[in-house]
Structure 1
Amino acid sequence: MAAPTKLEFDVDMTCGNCVKKIENAFKGIEGVKSLDVNLLRGQVIVECNLGTEKVKSVIESTGKKAVLKGMGGSKGAAVSIMDVGSEAIRGLIRLVQTDERQLVIDGTLDGLTPGVHGLCVHECGDISEGCNSCGDIYGRDVSGQVSMGELGDIKAGPDGRAEFRIVSDRLKVWEMIGRSLIIHNGSIDEIKRNNSRDQRLTCGIIARSAGLFQNSKKICACDGVTQWEERNVPAAGHSRQAHL
């Protein structure tokens, strides 16, 4: 059983009815372990096995705006902005070490070709030549057939969006800082067969990120935009989300 992840959201709640609406929205949803709605702080904490976009959509089904402020536990968190290699593909992937054993990879990407794509950790965080300078897939064994960095396949729908949550017991978040994530064209099996670098669709450097209760910002320092204005820009197309 995958360890649940705690997600921290700021929510524009104004009264007790807002709290009740949010609590009711989560009733009966499988994968939710606990829910804490704090009106005074404007904060919702959800401990669950669900992806961040799913949880956000449940909160916003009540008519309230929600912004993800932190994710994970005390073991470390990282983020990768997927905006190198293609002007059409944009996304954000978060990595959270929920305990000593399990790493949760949670992401949303837009602009992909519908179908299956492989997600891999690569050796280097060098994007000086785009995705081609990120090195090989991380952690290949001597046979070249197995790699710790092969996180798995993600699937983009007809609209080009892929939302996913992957749990790995082979990697640790502190080993990933400074490396890169790459979305490949085709499945992991296809990547192994052709090993072609021109199949690298988009990539991003893995950087340290705020964990739970570590992001108190309400206004983006780079342009003075409030989190509620910033929230109106899709997460998969806005680099400021990396401030998480």
Structure 2
Amino acid sequence: MVGFLRAFAAASAVPAAAAAACALSSSSCSSPSPSGSKLRFHLPASFPSASASASSSPSTSARAPRSITPMAAATAATADPSAANKDTALPELTTEFMVDMKCEGCVKAVRNKLETLEGLKNIEVDLNNQVVRVLGSLPVKTMLDALQQTGRDARLIGQGNPNDFLVSAAVAEFKGPVIFGVVRLAQVNMELTRVEATFSGLSPGKHGWSINEFGDLTRGAESTGKVYNPPDHSSDKPLGDLGTLEAGENGEAHFSGSKEKLKVVDLIGRSIALYTTEDRSDSGIAAAVIARSAGVGENYKKLCTCDGVTIWESS
């Protein structure tokens, strides 16, 4: 009889624990499958994907998940080169593109294509200035690819929050001869900056990268100083530490994420450096100076119309 009561109590604890988990969860909890083999919980979008945690051991999976900073979450989402083209949720910003549009048909084609993308809140198309302005949380690359799929030339010309910041965007360009790439930084608010990067020419594997103190490129990354860390930043990890990039077999690496406490205005004239090793123990393999980039509404000018060359055709 005692054994029966113990078995009954243990069996009763399972649905009770599941009910408690549902009550504590901020998301809705789906009911068990008819076979009763699994319970499925809908996690918030900011949590790692289920596939990322599937390999953890039973003893590990039972623990409460650690809080994950936006930068760490974005790194996890883009570290796998095979996931480079997947959309990564980012803080919302206004992004402007110059697009080769000649008529209302062009406007309709561009708008219809962008409306198929999830993560966009507002789309404005200015035919006279050939400008498309988008408010949303998608990476620049995703939106640019969509625009070019309409068969029209397109180029990013501005990003940021209109009228909110004196300097809202910056860019660092890596121009070879081996490593090519671009890093874009855009101020979301005073506590958060979006970081997007695309590189080619890297050796396959993981590479450290960081924002460094100086823009001195006389000896490449070696002369850019230490990792940028303002005096008021109280953390064991320097503010300019951008974590790890992982390049695929083709030498390409992509990153989309955000960084707390980083202010774009404080970064102009500094540099972004790439390293061979993940821990940045080497002298560095490439670096580029961070320069101010156009914010929203600051870059509508085309080149001289006397020769018919427009902004997206210039080098």
Amino acid at match of 1:219: L
Larger Rg: 2
- Partner residue in 2 for 1:79: 171
Task: Confirm whether residue 156 of structure 1 aligns to residue 247 of structure 2.
Answer: yes
The counterpart of 1:174, out of the listed 240, 259, 265, is: 265
The counterpart of 1:34, out of the listed 110, 122, 140, is: 122
Q: Which has the higher helix share?
A: 2
- Partner residue in 2 for 1:19: 107
Task: Confirm whether residue 88 of structure 1 aligns to residue 174 of structure 2.
Answer: no
Deviation digits for residues 45-89 of structure 1 (CA, Å, limit 9, x no counterpart): 112222212111101111111011111123221111223xx6210
- Partner residue in 2 for 1:196: 282
Task: Confirm whether residue 135 of structure 1 aligns to residue 225 of structure 2.
Answer: yes
* Contact persistence 2:129–2:300 (CA under 8 A): no
Q: Distance in 2 between matches of 1:152 and 1:119?
A: 6
Q: Secondary structure at the match of 1:22?
A: helix
* Contact persistence 1:115–1:157 (CA under 8 A): yes
- Partner residue in 2 for 1:183: 274
- Partner residue in 1 for 2:87: none
Summarize the alignment of residues 44-63 of structure 1 with structure 2, pairs less than 5 Å apart: 44-63=132-151
Query: How far 1:140 moved relative to its partner?
Result: 8.2
Amino acid at match of 1:80: A
- Partner residue in 2 for 1:121: 211
* Contact persistence 2:202–2:252 (CA under 8 A): yes
Question: Judging changes above 3 Å, is the alpha-carbon distance between structure 1 residues 16 and 51 closer, same or farther for their aligned structure 2 residues?
Answer: same
- Partner residue in 2 for 1:214: 298
Deviation digits for residues 109-138 of structure 1 (CA, Å, limit 9, x no counterpart): 221123332221111111122211101111
Query: How far 1:144 moved relative to its partner?
Result: 9.4
Amino acid at match of 1:185: T
Question: Judging changes above 3 Å, is the alpha-carbon distance between structure 1 residues 6 and 115 closer, same or farther for their aligned structure 2 residues?
Answer: farther
Q: Secondary structure at the match of 2:275?
A: strand
Q: Distance in 2 between matches of 1:225 and 1:219?
A: 6
Q: Distance in 1 between matches of 2:170 and 2:220?
A: 21
Amino acid at match of 2:136: C
Q: Distance in 1 between matches of 2:235 and 2:296?
A: 37
Q: Distance in 1 between matches of 2:194 and 2:291?
A: 15
Amino acid at match of 1:209: S
Q: Secondary structure at the match of 2:143?
A: helix
Aligned length: 219
Q: Which has the higher strand share?
A: 1
* Contact persistence 1:70–1:212 (CA under 8 A): yes
* Contact persistence 2:190–2:261 (CA under 8 A): no
* Contact persistence 2:220–2:285 (CA under 8 A): no
Q: TM-score, normalised to structure 1's length? A: 0.80
